[in-house]
Structure 1
Amino acid sequence: MQGRGEQRMRMAESRRTDPASPAVDRPRSSGPLAVLYTGGTFGMVPSAQGLIPNPHLREEVEGLMADARGADGGPLAWVYSATASAVDSAEMDDEALGRLADQLREIIARHDPRGVVVIHGSDTLAYSAAFAAFALADLPTPIVFTGAQRPLGAEGSDAVDNLSLAVAAADRDAPHGVHIAFGGSLLPAVRATKRSTQSLRAFAAPRSLAESPTGVDRRLAAALREAAGTPSPRTGLVKVSPGLSAAQLVAALEECPTGIVLECYGSGTAPAVSGGLLGPIRTATARGTVVLAVTQCEHGPVVLDRYAVGSALADAGAIGGGDMTSEAALGKLGALVRAGVVGDELGELLALNLIGERRG
C-alpha cells in the first residue's frame, strides 16, 4: 500500500498531468434523498431551561417530507440519519468537523443518494459546510446545509421554508459540491458567511465563486478518501486588532501547531513592527506551522506585497489566502492537512483555486 509520504511526493508532479477526478462529472444518482440531522435551532423546543432538543423531531420531519415530490412529480424517496447526539452548533470543533464529514461520506457510500440535506445549527453552519466542501471534494453528490433562525413550529419559524429550499436543491437544482440553503438563497459553501443573528436571511456570499477552479485531481481525491477516520488537525483563527501582541500570537501558534488563519487588515497587513509579530510567525513557519493570511474585508483579496508590512509577513513565511473567507480558509487548511498534505505541497494547494474558493 502506498504510504502518505510517497503519495505527497507524487502529488505535485501528478497535478501537472493528472486530470480532475471523473467522479464529479458523474450524472446525478437515481437513489433516494438523504437527510442528516446534527442539531441546532431547527430541532429545538422551549423548556423552563431554554431551548432543548426536540425528542420527536424525526417524526416531525417525516410529516414534512410526506408531501415532498421528486423531479418526476412522484413521491420523493428519502432516508433519515442523525449524528450520535444533537448538539448546539457552538460546540463544533476540529474533531466534530471530521466526524461530520466522515458520516456524510458513509451515508453517500451506503445509499448512493441523489443529494444530501444537512440540518445544522446556524452559528457554525458556514464553518462546517466549508470544511465539508473540501473534505468531500472528490464526491459527485450535491450536499446542502440548512437550518433555522427560529425553531420548527415556533411562530414565524423559517424552518419549513429552509428545509423545502434545501430539499429542492439537493434533489434536483444544485450541482455537485456543498451549498447552503437559507433565507430563500442557495449559496456556495466556500463563499458563504453568517451575517445576522436575527434576520431570516442570515447568510450571504459577498464574493461569488471564483472562475476556472483547478478541481481535485485523482491523487488528492484518493488522499481525501483515505483521510476518513483519521484525527483532525488542530487549527485556529486569529483576528488582527490594535494591540495584538507577540505573546498572544505565540500562544495561538503553540495551541494550533498545524496552522492558523490570520485575519489581517485590508490587503494583508498586521502590526509587524509595533506588535512584534514577525518573530513568532518566522519561528512557527520554520517548524512547519502554516500561517494563512486572509482579509477582514468583505471584498478584495490579500496582496501581501502591496505594503511593506505585508511583504514582511510573506518574508516571515505567511501564505496569502487571496479573497478566501475565514470559514473557507479554515476548512481548506484543515481538510488538506487531514488528508496528509504538508510542506511545500500544502502551500501550493492553499495558493490554488481548487473549487471556486479564491481569487488572487
Structure 2
Amino acid sequence: MKRILVLTTGGTIVSLQTMDGLKPDNENIIHILYEKIYSLAGDYDVTIEPIFNKDSSNIIPSDWYIVEDSIRKHINQYDGIVILHGTDTMSYSAAMLSYLFLGINKSIVLTGSQLPIVYDNSDGVNNLIDAIITAGDGRLSGVFVVFHDKIINGTRAYKRSSINIDAYISCNYPYVGVIKDRTLFITSDYKKIKENESGTDIIPARKRKETIIPKIYLLKMIPGIDESIIDYIQNENYQGLIIEGYGLGGMPVANTELMNKLETLIKRKIPIIMATQCVYDGVNLDTYEVGIKANKIGMISAYDMTTEAVYTKLIWILSLTDSYEEIIKILQTNFCGELNTKIQ
C-alpha cells in the first residue's frame, strides 16, 4: 500500500462560499477530502495535513520555503507528496519547488480545481485522485502538476483558462503522462525527451539566503513604453529584471534612451532576462535587429522558458550566488526540463 501525504495550502479546491465570495477553508474541508478519496482506501494510505490557508493570489515567495520545509519534514515517511494549491499561481509554485527539490527520487504533485470540491460538478475530485495516483507511481520522480487527466512537468505548466476545467497546458514540452480510468500512462514523447535532455548532474549548493527575498521586476513591453520606469527599477535597488518582449524577443530599440538605461543596469551587473509575451516557441535573439541589439548590450535569453519558470529560477539562483557570471551560467543551464537552448 502506497503512503501519500496531502498538504493543503488553500485555493479553490478547499473553498467554501462566504458573504465575501469563495474563500479557502482548510479546517472545515479536510473531512470532506477524506470522503472524496474513500474509493482509494485499499491501495493508498493517505494523510491530509494543512500548511496554510490562502487564495493563491495571496501567495508570496516566502510561502514557497514554508511549503519546502513541510515537505522535507515528511518526505522520508511517504512514497509521494500531493500539494493542494490554488490555480492562479500554481505554475509559479510548481516551478520553484522543481528547483528546490532537484534530484529528488519521489514525486511531488501539485493540483487544484476550477470548482470547489464541495460542488457536485467539481473537477477537484478527479484531480485529487489523479494526483494521488501520480504521487504513488514509482516510475516518476520530480515535481509535477496534475490537472484534467494530464501530468505536466513542474517548470512547464501554464494556466490558459480562467474558467474551463481543462485549464493547464504543457508549454514547449511534452506532457509527462495521462491518467485514464485510474491508470497512469507515461507518454512516449516524454520518455524520448528525458533520454535526450541535456540536463546537468551538478546541483548547486544553497546558501540558505531565502529569508531575504530578492527584488525582481517583471516588465512587459508595450508600444510607447516610458523609459523612466528603468530609473525606478534602478533607484529601488531591484536585483533582476525580466522583460517580456515581443515575439522572438523584440525590443523597441529605436528608443535609444530606453536601451541606454537598460545597458547601464547591465553594466552594474543587474541581470536582465529576455522572455516573450508569446505562449509557445520561445526567444531567439539572433534573428531580428530588435533582438540582436538587445543581445549586444548583454540581455540574457530565456529561450523557451515560461515567465513563471524564469522568475522563480532567478529567485532560486540569487539564493545560491551573488556572482553575475555564475548567475548567467545557471540561468542558461537546464536542470529540470525548464530550458531548451536550441530554439530555431
Distance 1:40 1:282, change over 3 A: same
Structure 2 counterparts to residues 101-250 of structure 1, below 5 A:
101-108=68-75, 111-172=76-137, 175-208=140-173, 211-218=196-203, 220=204, 223-224=205-206, 226-227=207-208, 230-250=211-231
Q: C-alpha separation between the residues in 2 aligned to 1:260 and 1:174?
A: 38
How many percent of aligned residue pairs carry the same amino acid?
Answer: 27
Matched ranges for 1:307-318 at <5 A: 307-318=288-299
- Specify the code of the residue in structure 2 equivalent to 1:120: H
| Pairs aligned (count) | 320
1:63 aligns with 2:35: yes
Answer 1 or 2: which has greater helix percent.
1
Q: How far, CA to CA, are the matches of 1:53 and 1:307 in structure 2?
A: 47
Q: Name the CA distance, whole Å, in 1 between partners of 2:13 and 2:234.
A: 35
Secondary structure of the 1:79 match is strand
| Cα offset, 1:132, TM superposition | 0.9
Aligned counterparts of 1:343 and 1:227: Cα–Cα separation in 2 = 18
In the other structure, the counterpart of 1:50 is 21
Cα deviation code 1:257-287 (max 9, x no counterpart):
2212211111111112227322222222222
Moved more, 342-351 or 48-57: 48-57
Match of 1:3 in 2: none
Q: 1:352 aligns with which of 306, 315, 333?
A: 333
Who is 2:45 aligned against? 77
Q: Distance in 1 between matches of 2:123 and 2:24?
A: 17
Q: CA deviation at 1:87?
A: 1.0
Partner of 1:91: 58
| Aligned: 1:283 with 2:264 | yes
Local SS of the residue matching 1:354: coil
Change (3 A) 1:119 1:275: farther
Matched with 1:343 is: 324
CA distance in 2, matches of 1:280, 1:97: 33
* TM-score, normalising length: structure 2: 0.86
Q: Any conservation in 1 of the 2:2–2:43 contact (CA below 8 Å)? A: no
Q: Is contact 2:210–2:319 with CA below 8 Å preserved after alignment?
A: no
Equivalent residues of 2:37, 2:125 under 8 A apart: no
Q: Are the counterparts in 1 of residues 62 and 211 from structure 2 also a CA contact under 8 Å?
A: no
Query: Retained in 2: the 8 A contact 1:149–1:158?
Result: yes
**Contact persistence 2:305–2:338 (CA under 8 A):** yes
The two structures, once aligned, show a CA RMSD in angstroms of 2.2
Alignment of 1:294-333 (within 5 A): 294-333=275-314
Q: TM-score, normalised by structure 1?
A: 0.82
Q: Which residues of 2 match residues 25-40 of structure 1 at below 5 A?
A: 32-40=3-11
Structure 1 position 82, deviation (Å): 1.7
Secondary structure at 2:64 match in 1: helix
